[in-house]
């Protein structure tokens, strides 16, 4: 499904990730380390390595089960990324002697609890879009300023759907009652919900109200999972939405969906009717409905237009995808998939 852009056609064509250094991600984690306890927290920089692969090597080096290794989120393989891992151990581990290709331990701390998935606040990105950016200087500046002030559609990125949409094929297997192993079942459910959310967001962009509240919406408080129902839209809510303090949200499909009402619910029900194989699978899987903001605010947004490259720097809250920002600027050819 082709996701609609909010701000018009892409301004130029660019190459993404011509090298790992062109895509840098730094995890933002706010944990006051206790300084004691049975978990080593390791601040790791990795290049060209999957998060899961790094976790396996940490477990092997420490002589523990893979379940004793924690991390907050999966980071791109084709990038230079920094993130925290925790390793539970019963005796001291000589991390200074740890070695794995493309992996460097930058810092370590002790803590009493394992690092849980989704514990990070967000991620900071520095991305190079290589193409004739300088030829579109004025148009680019206008587009980038608009993104800074307005945010972008909060689409799930293509990595949610797996290579060649493999996770969506798993989701369709779930819908007809075929067996899917426990680990891959989670990927299937996530992909199905992501596809349906993206379709709702696409419909709201087509309507022109993806970034403003409607009666029946659930308003999402920026930076939190908190939502509240919107019975009527008054001047105060309009002002808060314009300031990016709150955002309209849509249902993550499951039991009890849709969670919205009035027109937003009608939009979601039409999408669900067009994707029955995924609604059936999610409801049969016993997943409860959730919500996700339709818009994401871009923090610390900066850019540098140079000959044949546009450098972007920005931060996104947990769950935001860098691709949602990039696609509003350029038509991208990802060198990792070309």
What residues are labeled active site? 76
Rg (CA), the chain: 21
Distances (CA, A) of 261 to 30, 245, 265, 292: 36, 21, 5, 15
The closest of 319, 316, 314 to 290, measured between CA atoms, is 319
How far apart CA 208 and CA 187 sit, in angstroms, is 31
Please list the residues that pair with 296 across neighbouring strands: 152
């Amino acid at each position: 499904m082709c996701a609609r852009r909010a701000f018009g056609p892409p301004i130029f064509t660019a190459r993404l990730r011509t090298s790992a250094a062109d895509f840098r991600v730094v995890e933002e984690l706010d944990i006051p380390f206790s300084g004691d306890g049975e978990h080593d927290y390791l601040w790791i920089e990795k290049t060209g390595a999957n998060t899961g692969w790094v976790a396996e090597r940490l477990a092997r080096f420490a002589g523990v089960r893979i379940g004793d290794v924690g991390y907050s989120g999966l980071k791109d393989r084709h990038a230079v990324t920094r993130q925290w891992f925790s390793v539970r151990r019963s005796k001291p581990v000589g991390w200074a002697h740890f070695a794995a290709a493309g992996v460097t331990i930058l810092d370590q701390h002790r803590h009493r609890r394992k690092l849980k998935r989704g514990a990070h606040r967000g991620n900071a990105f520095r991305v190079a879009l290589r193409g004739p950016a300088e030829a579109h200087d004025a148009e680019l500046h206008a587009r980038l300023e608009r993104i800074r002030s307005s945010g972008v559609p909060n689409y799930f990125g293509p990595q949610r759907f797996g290579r060649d949409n493999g996770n969506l094929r798993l989701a369709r297997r779930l819908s007809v009652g075929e067996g899917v192993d426990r680990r891959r079942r989670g990927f299937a459910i996530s992909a199905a919900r992501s596809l349906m959310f993206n379709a709702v967001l696409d419909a709201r962009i087509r309507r022109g109200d993806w970034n403003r509240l409607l009666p029946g919406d659930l308003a999402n408080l920026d930076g939190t999972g908190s939502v509240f129902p919107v019975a009527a839209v008054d001047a105060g809510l309009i002002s808060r939405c314009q300031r990016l303090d709150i955002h309209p949200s849509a249902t993550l499909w499951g039991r009890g969906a849709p969670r919205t009402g009035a027109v937003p619910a009608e939009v979601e029900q039409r999408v669900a009717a067009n994707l029955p194989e995924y609604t059936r699978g999610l409801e049969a899987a016993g997943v409860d409905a959730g919500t996700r903001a339709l818009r994401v605010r871009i923090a610390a947004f900066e850019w540098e237009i140079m000959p044949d490259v546009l450098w972007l720097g920005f931060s996104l809250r947990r769950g935001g995808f860098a691709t949602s920002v990039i696609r509003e600027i350029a038509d991208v050819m990802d060198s990792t998939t070309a």
